[in-house]
Amino acid sequence: MNGVELFFEVGGDGDPLVLVHGSWSDHDSWTPVLHALALRFRVLIYDRRGHSQSERPPGQGSRFEDEEDLAALIETLGFAPAYVAGSSFGASTALGLAARRPELFRGLVAHEPPLMGIVADDPELLPLMTATGEKFESVLAHLRADETLAGARQFAEEIALGPGAWDQLPEQRRETFITNAPTFMDEQSDPGWADLDLGRLSGYTGPALLTKGTESPPWFSTITTRLSRALPQAETHTFEGAGHIPHISHPDAYAERVTSFIEGNNRRS
E strand or H helix at 110: strand 105-111
Q: What is the pTM of this model?
A: 0.96
Q: Nearest-5° angle of CA 33, CA 38, CA 41?
A: 120
Cα 28 to the chain's mean position, in Å?
14
| Mean pLDDT for back-to-back runs of 10 residues, the chain (269 residues) | 92 97 97 98 98 94 97 97 98 98 98 95 88 91 96 92 89 94 94 96 97 93 96 97 94 98 89
The answer to whether residues 104 and 71 touch, using CB atoms and an 8 Å cutoff, is yes
H or E stretch covering 94: helix 89-100
The rounded distance, in Å, linking the Cα atoms of 164 and 112 is 21
Of 213, 143, 233, which is closest to residue 179 (Cα–Cα)? Answer: 143
